[in-house]
Amino acid sequence: MQLVIVESPAKAKTIEKYLGPGFKVLASYGHVRDLPPKDGSVRPDDAFAMDWEIYGDKAARIKAITDAAKTADRLILATDPDREGEAISWHVRELLAKRKALPKDVQRVTFNAITKATVLAAMAAPRALDQDLIDAYLARRALDYLFGFTLSPVLWRKLPGAKSAGRVQSVALRLIVEREREIEAFKTQEYWSVAAKLEHAGTGFTARLVRFEGNKLDRLSLGDEGVAQRARATVEAATFRVDSVETKPMRRNPQPPFTTSTLQQEAARKLGFSTSHTMRVAQTLYEAGAITYMRTDGVQMDSSAISDARRVISSRYDGHYLPEKPRIYETKAKNAQEAHEAIRPVDFSRTTHGSGDEARLYDLIWKRALASQMASAALERTTVSLGEGTGKHELRATGQVVRFPGFLAVYEEGRDQKADADDEDSGILPAMAAGDLPKKHGVEAIQHFTQPPPRYAEASLVKRLEELGIGRPSTYAATIQVIKDRNYVRLEKNRFFAEESGRLLTAFLERFFDRYVAYQFTAGMEEELDDVSGGRAAWKDVLAAFWRDFKPKSDEVMERKPSEVTAELDVFLSDYLFPPREDGTDPRVCPKCAVGRLSLRGGRYGAFVACSNYPECKYTRKFAQGQDNAEGGASEDAVLGQDPVTGQDVVRRSGRFGPYVQLGDGKEAKRASIPKDIPELDLDWALKLLSLPREIGMHPESGKPITASIGRYGPYLAHDGKYGRLRNTAEVFETGMNAAVVRLAEAAAGGGARGGRTATEPLKVVGAHPVSGLEVRLMAGRYGAYVTDGTTNATLPKDKTADTLTIDEAAALIDARAAAAPAKGKKKAPAKKAPAKKAPAKKDAGAGAATAAKKPVAKKPTAKKPAAKKPAAKKPAT
């Protein structure tokens, strides 16, 4: 029997069908082991030795592979054709060797597409494991571990509230933060344009003023309304004739087929997919045999695929759409280990595949790959200049006409910004000649304002990372997901906004570890890792060079006092935290006491700004309020009115953890946080918040009270120790008895968890189980997310997220949980009896209380046998 190892069960099932009898194909379900998430897993002082740990949910999978390997004559490692695939094969081989189950004949095969012909051809040309790729994986994994596990403890102790840092993720975060700074520093400028609405031969068009009073106009030349209106009046009064008509032919060539990064960018632009979702859908298409491997930097297609594409083009379009020779594209990627074939359809004659997002992504891939082999588009750009008698003023109209669409008949690449499209050039101009006098229908002066650079979207962030050479396209989805999961950034309308925690972390790294978040350094490290994968550098030498400088730097920062770190960050961030005031007064003067000075402080829950006159003055504001509250207005105490019952002031205040309202003073004062969804805080809202919890009434069945209030996780209902979530703050005060009873019943049906969901809606429907066919859903549970097929529940590991979870991974979790769980009911009884059947002298000492109660007399002699206990105690240490 020949044992074949692949990553996913879907791929295993397909390949086993292709190979036929004599082959057994098993799936590893991705990586089987990793460095344990604890200190000491990589030991620089021991030649960078590494300890590996099997993933908890992979034990059953490894056992199945081990059992099969013991009876196999040949082991074929057929994981994905990239560095990670090579690493998975290496891990499987090492585990089997450690368990003395490794067959004598071990070979590696790779294929770029899952078709019968491709798989059989790969099986006929096996090779050995590529040690250079394995070394590159080891170097990258160790480097990321050393960076994260060395720097994160520094953050935890010196920067309260910080979670962790990563070699690539911190640089990606820095890009987002720097763009935020650019936007904040941007000074908007007003400018105007003047446009005339003209008509000739029945066709209307627009001409813009490009010369005024003998001066050539650039974008900001007409800087105020007065000048713009004078220019408009001049154009309105003058008569303009055509001075010249210039026509230039243009050609546009198609883009090459998709690489990993260009697929992520285009799917974000055109389909609205996140990078992680794009890769998940692409993985499904690859495993279904619809497309080639989707982690690649290569832009070239196989010669047979090019012939296939050209055949489809000639059958669908006339001969003009097919170039005389096939188009050959050259990759710009430096890392040859990932320079595989581009992403393309396996069969160009298959114009559609699947449904939903799979169908949409396949259509995008098919069109891009087909268009890459089509003829260039022929366009014609026309520029018409119009002048008046004095020669001091000039209008210009431009238009672009597609004379032959070529590849544009199938596909046109999207753009990151709508502003990139030159709308003025896209119109069609009427045929005109020098001396023509177009009819004027009106002139308008249009006000504009310069815009700051746009915030990054996922597509533009991926593009920028690739331009800088930071990370690798196959890692971008995971990198972006990490900074989102750790709340360093947030996405609003598909744009990244830097959160205060992300901004503070970036400032800390720039101040104390500037070299290691520098773009050039990170890109240089990628080149060194590529040198390892290409056999041009030794992986331990690369690690040693990094560690030699990084460890002393981290030790130096660790020795600093937290107060010293905060003081330096206070200076580093002074322009952001204390921007200049318009009246010229000192922005650091406390707005409450007018005596103390404001500065950055570190607290248990993160950084904040406080007055130096503490404890006399207890003014504080959140770190992120530096811009909004530069004048201190929003942070100052404000009396909203008086409580009609007690006559005491109701005060709005701002604390370290956000704004709140307070009634009274001292220890007896009542306080309530102000929820973000209150439209406008006034006395009525303040009194409502201070009155919580609100009693709705007695439950009709239990007779116990139902209350509504606002807690740490938002608005909720409470009844007899059970909870139900409310959607917003308004519902706390509006929910009646009937609605409350229904909401609590729904929460109980969903598990009755504290802060529970109001309905048992899944977080996500992952898909159908590949074996049972049952629907697999991702649910929110009391102790975290879990996956279920309706029969078995399995906890979602911490390294998995809803966005990155695949059906194969979910199925593996469920299968592993089902295999580990005891059968219901009767199987537990024999387990209890088993110790009693064996020698009681050994077992009774460690038996439960119930067993001890049954045979007290028999246990007395066994207590005198310490010799039997000592070897048992030593056993775990061996």
- What positions carry a catalytic annotation? 293
3-state secondary structure of 739: helix
* Residue 677 exposure: Cα atoms within 13 Å on the Cβ side: 10
Residues 6+ apart with CB under 8 A from 11: 27, 114, 287
What is the C-alpha end-to-end distance of the chain, expressed in Å? 35
- Cα–Cα dist 208/191, whole Å: 14
Helices (H), 673-762: 683-690, 729-734, 737-749
CA 367 to chain centre: 26
User: 739, 692, 748, 746: which is closest to 720 by C-alpha?
Assistant: 748
Q: What are phi and psi of 253, to 5 degrees?
A: -95, 150
746/14 Cα distance (integer angstroms): 42
Q: Tell me, what DSSP letter sits at residue 782?
A: T
Distance between CA atoms of residues 91 and 83, nearest Å: 12
Give the SS3 label for residue 815.
Answer: helix
Distance set, CA 296 to CA 132, 336, 818 (Å): 18, 10, 36
Partnered with residue 654 across adjacent β-strands are 659
Phi, psi of 262 (to 5 degrees): -70, -30
Q: Which residues contact 727 (CB under 8 A, 6 or more apart)?
A: 715, 758
Helix, strand, coil share of the chain (percent; to 5): 40, 20, 35
CA–CA dist 498, 182 (Å, integer) = 12
Q: Are strands 793-795 and 705-711 parallel, antiparallel or unpaired?
A: unpaired
340/328 Cα distance (integer angstroms): 14
**In this structure, which amino acid lies at residue 746?**
E
DSSP, res 691:
T
The CA distance from 111 to 79, in Å, is 9
Q: How far is CA 637 from CA 272, 607, 618, 642, 649, in A?
A: 44, 21, 11, 14, 11
Amino acid (1-letter code) at residue 653:
R
Three-class SS string for 82-124?
A: CHHHHHHHHHHHHHHHHCCCCCCEEEECCCCCCCHHHHHHHHC
Q: Report the alpha-carbon distance of residue 651 to residue 643 in Å, rounded.
A: 10
User: What is the SS3 assignment for 594?
Assistant: coil
- What three-state secondary structure class fits 654? strand
Give Dmax over CA atoms of the chain in angstroms.
124
Q: Contact 389/336 with Cβ under 8 angstroms?
A: no
Burial of 700 (0-12, 13-18, 19+ CB in 10 A): exposed
Whole-angstrom distance, CA of residue 399 vs CA of residue 426: 6
Give 321-330 contacts, CB < 8 A, sequence gap 24+.
Answer: 321/374, 321/375, 321/406, 321/407, 321/409, 322/373, 322/374, 322/375, 323/373, 323/374, 323/375, 323/376, 326/373, 327/254, 327/372, 327/373, 328/300, 329/256, 329/257, 329/299, 329/300, 329/372, 330/299, 330/300
